[in-house]
Structures are given as C-alpha cells and as structure tokens.
Amino acid sequence: MTRNVGRIDQYVRIIIGLAMIAYTVKDGVLGLGWPISGALGVILIATAFFSYCPLYTLVGIDTRQKSSSI
C-alpha cells in the first residue's frame, strides 16, 4: 500500500471528517442523513490517518510532495 495522500490533503480530510461527524451528532441526536455523513466522516479520517486513498489509486492521483534528490 503506497502512500498517495499529502500533508495538506491529510489536514483537509481531518477537518472535513470531524465536521461531518459533528454534523451527524449535532444537538445530541442523530441527524437526518447520519448514515451517509457519519460514514463519509469516518472514511475521510481513516484515509488521512493511513495516508492512502483507494480512489486516488484508481484515478492515478498522488498529492504527496516528491522529494528532489539534488
């Protein structure tokens, strides 16, 4: 499993994932779309944690910075 999620991408995924989970449990009750928003929030946080996104692999995207060997 090759890493394909860069550092800025990780931060954005964590922020959006936490926001989606917070939306899911707002006011102490589950919202209307809780299965979708909760699952997406968990997926975003998991992909940020592992620095790997299977969708990026399928599409051929890599947001990591390439190290220059000078």
Q: DSSP per residue over the chain, as a string?
A: ------HHHHHHHHHHHHHHHHHHTGGGS--TTHHHHHHHHHHHHHHHHHT--HHHHHHT---SPPPP--
pLDDT recorded at residue 68: 62
pLDDT tens by residue, 56-70: 999 999 999 877 656
Classify residue 65: in a domain, yes or no: no
Q: How many domains does the chain have?
A: 1
Does a structural domain hold residue 48? yes
Mean pLDDT of 42-58: 95
Please tell me the pTM assigned to this model: 0.84
Instruction: Give a yes or no: residue 46 inside a domain.
Output: yes
Degrees (nearest 5) of the Cα angle 58, 23, 8? 45
**pLDDT recorded at residue 55:** 94
Please report the pLDDT score of residue 57 as a whole number.
Answer: 93
**In a domain? residue 64:** no
CA-based nearest residue to 55, from 41, 44, 65: 44
